[in-house]
Structure 1
């Protein structure tokens, strides 16, 4: 286990397991004050790191690759002031790192499943929002993260709440659960920062709600309270961690906020549900994502064809010029020669000639 722990990078992606010729990538993203190893490792004496020690046996029949993602998850990354930039930065780095990792291995179209703990879910949401909004052909590889994502498991991630003060209290409680008590006591300015101006977090959830129907999602919520300043309470309660949403699975895990993502054996509360969801998602994802990529490629080709047509229309002053249609041979038109004699007698943008999407892959198909 020490070898695994020393291998995992604190910042960035680390591949911790891979079967031969994997067909699915599963990415683990920790939350506030978390770590790509310790967040997923049990605190008991056997120190089980379940993504490596338990999960591969369950997923043995599937070809998967498991990765952890680490980032500077200090409390200020989720408070206001510079928080807007920091959450955006973490999300942007996650998307860029994952796209680069997959591009180097020529697997940009491989399905992705995210496993997120706590506020790490907000980083994943923000990354998907950014990738979905990519329109430039120059950075289409980033959009691949959005197209390839099949499922997301959220463990203790807050998903709703419109009251800014309540957001502040929630963040304060999360800090109390994951940070040393002495840190909270010696940082009085932190409380004020947490209680105000957290619209960034609300906006992320609002924007993600518009696209979440695209993904297979499982909400997990804690059922054991945490000691917060002498009183015991749920850090992220059921209403926030697992709201009722049509088509979304939900379940409680008999653990507190910090330990709900740490499984020391296959008998640990919640482990079988998490493992079964990952097994099911890994089984179903390749076919669905392959269909989405067919749609994506057709959509991109149609856009490029339209763009090329627009360029040609402008270049020829609105003349009747369409892509794939032969131009008149100007060398025999009885006028001044406009094309060199070596030129072809037609102008055809063959790079943009495509077939329209077949009915079986209609753009309106809902996957």
Structure 2
């Protein structure tokens, strides 16, 4: 059982493109929780590095005892989320796309970490939410069903802030899950959920289907032939929980490849010919800024987009340089639409919140390359306002 904060690298499969983080649950441990139920008793997260090229796998641990002698040492979940985020930031997590895998209480901690990361002012913490592509919940009680009462039935000699929290009497789980739904839907985070079908220790099904459903997009909880403890312990590589996790991680890895190209370049973003204006919104740059209450930005915005346009059209119609410019434009358009327009503008965010999202989700990630792929913040802004003029993006929710 984990008796202090823990962060360790489990394995790596080739050149890393995706960081996979495992977070254990109540009474769990960063190793024992993820040890297979088969006769070999293998630490199964290591299987991922043999199966998938481009993943780095990590284990997180935290004090999670349910016994009275530990109660006074426990942080609440908000405090623990900040504690874990600082561990991740200090260890360089956030530089690459992330997949988070949580069991039981670990899934709740994952959601609290994402909420804290998305709302804080620390850019290293913000990067963790910005880079999250997949969240996997194994028997996590999103709606606060029977977990607290069932654990107390199984182990009557306990006193824990975590267990009390899981009763949802305060409405904490409902509030947290609403925040996660809004964030995941706006940021386009793929969400996967599993629930057990067997009673734990013959007592009860701790997290049934209804409680295991986070209510995100098209997420449909998947039933697993296991109890609450064994659901995260596949006995062999053909077990559903393992092959399903691999399937979803492969999808994220494919997206990472499409986003950066196999050689790390931005070429594969290229799609539309941005030299031709879109028909979706024919307002010019000035009108769009006026409609968004940002007309004071027009002079600078117009200057920036003119510089990009002069260079863009100067490159000709069929050159490698233009292809790369189209790739940059596609990257800016996709990130702006997902994280700024859908995630903030359409939800009535303030100018400060929009600016922060633009910095974290568009400018910082696209300026993180080196050498031939390096882009300056000014170049990103030039591309952004060029896309506005070309009618591919807008700044108001009309």
Alignment TM class, shorter chain as reference: 0.5 to 0.7
User: Contact conserved, 2:193 with 2:212, CA < 8 A, in 1?
Assistant: yes
**C-alpha displacement of 1:146:** 0.8
User: Contact conserved, 1:9 with 1:36, CA < 8 A, in 2?
Assistant: no
CA displacement 1:202-251 (0-9 Å, x = unmatched): 321222122121210111111112235xxx42110011113664322431
Q: What stretches of structure 1 of length at least 5 have no aligned partner?
A: 162-166, 307-349
- Structure 2 counterpart of 1:212, from 184, 195, 204: 184
Counterparts of 1:55 and 1:192 in 2: how far apart (Å)?
31
Q: Are 1:23 and 2:17 counterparts?
A: yes
Q: Which residue of 2 aligns with 1:334?
A: none
Q: Which residue of 2 aligns with 1:223?
A: 197
Q: Are 1:201 and 2:166 counterparts?
A: no
Q: Which residue of 2 aligns with 1:342?
A: none
Q: Which residue of 1 aligns with 2:285?
A: none
Q: Which residue of 1 aligns with 2:244?
A: 273
Q: Which residue of 2 aligns with 1:117?
A: 103
Q: Which residue of 2 aligns with 1:246?
A: 217
Q: Pick 1 or 2: higher relative contact order, CA cutoff 8 A, min separation 6.
A: 1
Q: 1:119 to 1:189 in 2, by over 3 A?
A: closer
**C-alpha displacement of 1:279:** 1.9
Q: Which residue of 2 aligns with 1:158?
A: 141
Counterparts of 2:205 and 2:353 in 1: how far apart (Å)?
50
Q: Are 1:234 and 2:200 counterparts?
A: no
Q: Are 1:145 and 2:139 counterparts?
A: no
SS at structure 2 position matched to 1:234:
coil
Q: Which residue of 1 aligns with 2:387?
A: 359
SS at structure 2 position matched to 1:113:
strand
Q: Which residue of 2 aligns with 1:347?
A: none
After superposition, residues 1-367 of structure 1 pair within 5 angstroms as 11-52=5-46, 54-59=47-52, 62-75=53-66, 86-102=76-92, 108-134=94-120, 136=121, 139-161=122-144, 167=145, 169-174=146-151, 176=153, 184-187=155-158, 193=164, 197-213=169-185, 214-227=188-201, 232-242=203-213, 245-285=216-256, 287=258, 291=331, 295=336, 303=355, 354-355=381-382, 357=384, 358-359=386-387, 362=393
CA displacement 1:156-195 (0-9 Å, x = unmatched): 011225xxxxx5x42121455xxxx5xx333489999565
Q: What stretches of structure 2 of length at least 5 have no aligned partner?
A: 261-265, 267-330, 342-350, 359-375
TM-score (norm 1): 0.66
User: Contact conserved, 2:30 with 2:60, CA < 8 A, in 1?
Assistant: yes
CA displacement 1:43-99 (0-9 Å, x = unmatched): 4431111111x222321xx2110000001112389x99997x520121112222112
TM-score (norm 2): 0.61
Counterparts of 2:169 and 2:353 in 1: how far apart (Å)?
42
Q: 1:80 to 1:202 in 2, by over 3 A?
A: farther
SS at structure 2 position matched to 1:210:
helix
Counterparts of 2:138 and 2:83 in 1: how far apart (Å)?
22
* Stretch moving more, 191-200 or 151-160: 191-200
Q: Which residue of 2 aligns with 1:320?
A: none
* Stretch moving more, 216-225 or 92-101: 92-101
User: Contact conserved, 2:181 with 2:216, CA < 8 A, in 1?
Assistant: no
User: Contact conserved, 2:195 with 2:209, CA < 8 A, in 1?
Assistant: yes
User: Contact conserved, 2:135 with 2:191, CA < 8 A, in 1?
Assistant: yes
Counterparts of 1:37 and 1:27 in 2: how far apart (Å)?
13
Q: How many aligned positions are there?
A: 287
Structure 1: 4+ residue segments shifted above 6 A: 79-83, 188-192, 296-302, 350-353
Counterparts of 2:163 and 2:191 in 1: how far apart (Å)?
33
User: Contact conserved, 2:71 with 2:159, CA < 8 A, in 1?
Assistant: no
Counterparts of 1:363 and 1:80 in 2: how far apart (Å)?
51
